[in-house]
Amino acid sequence: MNNGNILLLKEKLRYLGFGEAIASSDRLDIEIQNGTAAFQLQTAACFDEWSTIQATLFFRKSDNFDMYFFIKFDALLICDTAPMITRRQTFHIKNGSGVTFKEAFNLLQGRSVITTLWDSDDAKYSTWIQLSFSQRTRDNTNYKVRQYGENYGYDLEKALSTYPIRELQDEKLKMNLLCSLQKGNVHPVTIVKANKMERMFVEACPAIPSDCFRW
């Protein structure tokens, strides 16, 4: 059993947001110790009060080395108040990197995240992505993914600067805001008006550059 490989897998699981419980799962160690060619783990989380996201994580043993890889996860979003409303998507993991569990939740909620992808030459690049719920892939297993890359012209920080957001005046708060929106979160901000301050929520919206982000 490759203990270094197990430690690395657990580190990546934590980094991708699957929590200490699944990273410390005895079954992960048992399946690897038994030399299982491929296996799955399940987990679930609630990131808001209205829905639950379930995930099935897929692991595979290398054909050539004594190593295991976390290759993808299937995410299922269920609206707790309307269980018939569900959305499912498969997210692939490469070299331990990919969409996190929380980012998958945000994408299935309809929001956008910035992530790392690989081109046909296996070169990494960063891009905003969003799921298109009106379009399916050719095999009908996933929603199509829209990309808004560097050439698209969406500048989140510039877009935010056009609004009287108090958090932008503090460098630490500004960086927290940018990071949160890049992950697809809905983030609270304080809008400074003439004689008062108002609490609002924003999300990044690269699909509509003229609007910049939603309130």
Under DSSP, the state recorded for 130 is E
Give the model confidence (pLDDT) of 142-152 as tens digits.
999 999 988 88
**What is the helix (H) or strand (E) element at residue 5, kind and residue range?**
helix 3-15
d(CA 20, CA 51): 21
Cβ atoms of 48 and 67 closer than 8 Å: no
d(CA 68, CA 86): 31
Give the model confidence (pLDDT) of 44-90 as tens digits.
999 999 999 999 999 999 998 889 999 999 999 999 888 778 999 99
Both tokens of 70, joined, read 């976390």
Cβ atoms of 101 and 129 closer than 8 Å: no
Cα–Cα distances (Å) from 214 to 157, 202, 207, in that order, read 14, 5, 11
- What pTM was computed for the model? 0.92
**Order of strands, edge to edge, in the sheet holding 113-118?**
113-118, 124-136, 143-148
Predicted pLDDT at 20: 75
pLDDT band at 214 (very low <50, low <70, confident <90, very high): low
Give the model confidence (pLDDT) of 166-209 as tens digits.
999 999 999 999 999 999 999 999 999 888 899 999 999 998 76
